[in-house]
């Protein structure tokens, strides 16, 4: 049990930073960054701009995808010495589509505290301005690089009802929109670019139209996608399917199993439906 502010213990602060506009940082974030002994930064050059803007002068240690393993031991040793450390990413909340998760998990496993300092989020900013259903939603993050892997990755979401959120780079946005259209079919979407910055742009359209549009080759994208809008299968379809299988000679239990899988419902639901007179 972690009692964050009742018991004193070396702490890793997971600090959210602006996703574009430098003003989008909390008073608490500035305070914590000014007080800790060390700041872990994904890219020290990028983070130095933010820290300099708020007159924060603290040691920086590079922590990113390619050096996370070698830095882990050093970070844990500093916590063992009683040092307080802040973890920041290039933008937004650490651990979301960056390597922060690994060190957070390791710090917890080692017995030290992890405290979140909440703030700006590209996910939520794109979602609440999309005009699509806000909850429930699923954050997918970046898709795999290879086209076949993308299709495989997206397949489980074809019939899901919740809003989907995807990150994409400007270099791959056109190909990704095409894959989304071919895999998920035509759906309403919102494409947010350069959120909170001077050139913030939000395109609210559908996938069929989006694949014909020319996307700006600069700035990170957040794609918000409408969930599946297929209507529920009528009860008659389920019952008819079951009775057809029975007429073909399938045992009742086997018929229910086949129908449940086909209609994506439980065998218990099939039983309730077929027993309706």
Q: At what angle do helices 267-274 and 235-247 cross, to 10 degrees?
A: 90
Class of the domain covering 11-120: alpha beta
Across residues 3-14, what is the average pLDDT?
93
According to DSSP, the β-strands at 163-168 and 221-225 are: antiparallel
Most confident of 97-106, 117-126, 149-158: 117-126
Smallest CA-to-CA distance from 72 within 60, 64, 81 is with 64
**pLDDT tier at 71 (50, 70, 90 boundaries)?**
very high
pLDDT surpasses 70 at 231: no
Q: What is the pTM of this model?
A: 0.79
pLDDT of residue 53: 97
pLDDT of residue 136: 95
Place of tokens 């086997």: 254
When the pLDDT of each residue in the chain is averaged and rounded to a whole number, the result is 92
pLDDT of residue 230: 67
| Distance of alpha carbon 235 from alpha carbon 239, whole angstroms | 6
Report which of residues 173 and 8 the model is more confident about: 173
Across residues 66-95, what is the average pLDDT?
93
pLDDT of residue 220: 93
**pLDDT tier at 148 (50, 70, 90 boundaries)?**
confident
pLDDT surpasses 90 at 19: yes
- List of E strands, the chain: 11-15, 38-41, 60-62, 85-88, 113-117, 137-142, 163-168, 188-193, 201-206, 221-225
What are the domain boundaries of the chain? 11-120, 123-225, 235-274
Q: How crowded is residue 195: how many other Cβ atoms within 10 Å of its Cβ?
A: 24
- List of E strands, 128-250: 137-142, 163-168, 188-193, 201-206, 221-225
Across residues 77-103, what is the average pLDDT?
93
Across residues 219-226, what is the average pLDDT?
96
User: Domain 123-225 belongs to what architecture?
Assistant: 2-Layer Sandwich (3.30)
**224 and 165 in contact (C-beta within 8 Å)?**
yes
| Distance of alpha carbon 19 from alpha carbon 170, whole angstroms | 16
Across residues 191-205, what is the average pLDDT?
96
| Distance of alpha carbon 277 from alpha carbon 274, whole angstroms | 8
**pLDDT tier at 277 (50, 70, 90 boundaries)?**
very low
pLDDT of residue 165: 98
Min mean pLDDT across 51-55, 109-113, 218-222, 258-262 is at 258-262
Across residues 112-120, what is the average pLDDT?
96
**pLDDT tier at 263 (50, 70, 90 boundaries)?**
confident
123-225 shares the fold of 11-120: no
Q: Sheet of 221-225: strands edge to edge?
A: 137-142, 163-168, 221-225, 188-193, 201-206
């Amino acid at each position: 049990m972690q009692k964050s502010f009742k018991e004193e213990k070396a702490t890793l602060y997971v600090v959210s930073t602006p996703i574009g506009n430098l003003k989008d940082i909390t008073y608490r974030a500035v305070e914590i960054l000014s007080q800790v002994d060390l700041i872990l930064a994904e890219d020290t050059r990028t983070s130095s701009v933010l820290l300099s803007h708020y007159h924060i002068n603290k040691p920086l240690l590079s922590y990113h995808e390619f050096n996370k393993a070698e830095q882990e031991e050093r970070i844990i040793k500093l916590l063992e010495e009683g040092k307080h450390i802040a973890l920041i990413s290039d933008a937004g909340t650490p651990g979301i589509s960056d390597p922060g998760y690994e060190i957070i998990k390791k710090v917890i496993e080692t017995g030290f505290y992890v405290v979140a300092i909440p703030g700006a989020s590209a996910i939520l900013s794109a979602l609440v301005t999309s005009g699509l259903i806000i909850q429930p939603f699923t954050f997918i993050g970046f898709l795999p690089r290879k086209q076949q892997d993308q299709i495989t990755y997206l397949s489980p979401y074809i019939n899901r009802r919740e809003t989907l959120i995807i990150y994409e780079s400007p270099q791959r946005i056109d190909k990704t929109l095409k894959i989304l259209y071919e895999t998920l079919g035509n759906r309403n979407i919102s494409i947010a670019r350069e959120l909170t910055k001077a050139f913030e742009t939000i395109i609210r359209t559908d996938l069929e139209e989006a694949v014909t549009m020319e996307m700006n080759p600069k700035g990170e994208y957040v794609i918000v996608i409408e969930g599946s809008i297929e209507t529920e299968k009528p009860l008659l379809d389920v019952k008819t399917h079951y009775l057809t299988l029975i007429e073909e000679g399938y045992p009742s239990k086997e018929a229910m199993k086949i129908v449940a899988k086909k209609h994506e419902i439980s065998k218990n639901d099939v039983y309730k439906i077929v027993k309706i007179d």
